[in-house]
């Protein structure tokens, strides 16, 4: 699984699919939602949009018939993200998921980053209980992994501690915190109001800060050794063919 396929035809196919979704399906959903759903429109429209964004990844991934080794790497990283929690049982709110998802995105590319994140979000809820928050979590973790991969590919994100920590902190606070809080507001309040949203951001502030700080700390200590380990795996066991750098 190299970064290469992403840059090639696969990215374009996904871009194409994404374009259809953004230009056709999403506006349709919004219009239909407003016309038909009335009061409950916010939750359903946003939920559907969240689901739409995940579909192209799933489709593209299934379509290209991934190799055993790709599946394994994604599964292992997602499982580490979920299980890693228990290494810090004595520290509340100390979740390594975002950090590991970012590392996955940087090391194995945007697609793998997204899949590791979404899978971790989904599977962890098999252990902690599924709920209306599941799609939101999947989306947040996934999109952070995706962003990490894209930004790294474009050279905006470097494999340095500073760069990774900065991205990790911002992504956790704004992307994860921002979207999850919006999601939880949309779940139970039907009348959209800025005040409610603001209240939810305020009440979630410390929670998000701790989460972001934990991610930064994780990346600060873990990023380098983890990336080294993944590189070793990639070359030693032919996860990327020699010369396919």
Three-state SS sequence of the chain: CCCHHHHHHHHHHHHHHHHHHHHHHHHHHHHHHHHHHHHHHHHHHHHHHHHHHHHHHHHHHHHCCCCHHHHHHHHHHHHHHHHHHHHHCCCCCCCCHHHHHHHHHHHHCHHHHHHHHHHHHHHHHHHHCCCCCHHHHHHHHHHHHHHHHHHHHCCCCCCCHHHHHHHHHHHHHHHHHHHHHHHHHHHHCCCCCHHHHHHHHHHCHHHHHHHHHHHHHHHHHHHHHHHHHHHHHHHHCCCCCCCCC
Note whether 207 binds another protein by CB under 8 A: no
Identify the residue among 7, 23, 34, 76 touching another protein (CB under 8 A).
76
Is 6 a residue that touches another protein (CB under 8 A)? no
Assess 225 for contact with another protein (CB under 8 A): yes
Q: Which is nearer to another protein, 129 or 155 (CB)?
A: 129
Nearest approach in angstroms of CB 137 to another protein is: 14
Place of tokens 């739409």: 52
Does residue 87 touch another protein according to CB under 8 A?
A: yes
Exactly one of 38, 154, 155, 243 binds another protein (CB under 8 A); which one? 38
Taking the C-alpha atoms of residue 233 and residue 72, their distance in angstroms, rounded to an integer, is 12
Distance of CA 182 to the CA centre of its chain: 16
Binder among 17, 49, 166, 187 for another protein (CB under 8 A): 187
Please, which residue, 83 or 156, has the CB nearer to another protein? 83
Give the one residue of 6, 21, 115, 147 binding another protein; rule: CB under 8 A. 115
84 makes contact with another protein (CB under 8 A): yes
Task: Give me the 139-178 binding string for another protein, x by CB under 8 A, dash otherwise.
Answer: ----------------------------------------
Binding site for another protein (CB under 8 A): 37-40, 43-44, 58, 61-62, 65-69, 71-76, 78-80, 82-84, 86-88, 90-91, 94, 96, 115, 119-120, 122-123, 126-127, 129-132, 187-191, 193, 195-196, 199, 217-218, 221-222, 225-226, 228-230, 232-233, 237-238, 242
């Amino acid at each position: 699984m190299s970064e290469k396929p992403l840059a090639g035809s696969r990215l374009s196919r996904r871009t194409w699919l994404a374009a259809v979704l953004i230009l056709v399906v999403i506006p349709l959903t919004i219009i239909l939602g407003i016309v038909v759903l009335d009061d409950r429109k916010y939750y359903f429209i946003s939920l559907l949009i969240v689901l739409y964004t995940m579909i192209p990844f799933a489709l593209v991934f299934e379509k290209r018939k991934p190799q055993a080794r790709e599946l394994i790497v994604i599964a292992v990283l997602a499982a580490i993200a979920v299980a890693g929690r228990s290494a810090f049982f004595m520290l509340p709110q100390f979740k390594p998921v975002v950090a590991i998802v970012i590392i996955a995105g940087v090391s194995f590319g945007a697609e793998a980053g997204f899949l590791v994140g979404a899978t971790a979000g989904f599977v962890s809820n098999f252990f902690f209980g599924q709920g209306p928050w599941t799609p939101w979590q999947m989306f947040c973790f996934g999109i952070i992994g995706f962003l990490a991969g894209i930004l790294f590919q474009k050279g905006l994100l470097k494999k340095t501690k500073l760069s990774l920590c900065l991205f990790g902190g911002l992504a956790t606070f704004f992307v994860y915190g921002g979207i999850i809080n919006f999601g939880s507001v949309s779940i139970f309040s039907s009348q959209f109001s800025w005040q409610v949203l603001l209240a939810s951001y305020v009440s979630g502030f410390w929670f998000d800060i701790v989460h972001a700080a934990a991610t930064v700390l994780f990346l600060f200590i873990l990023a380098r050794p983890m990336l080294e380990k993944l590189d070793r795996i990639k070359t030693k066991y032919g996860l990327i063919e020699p010369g396919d750098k």
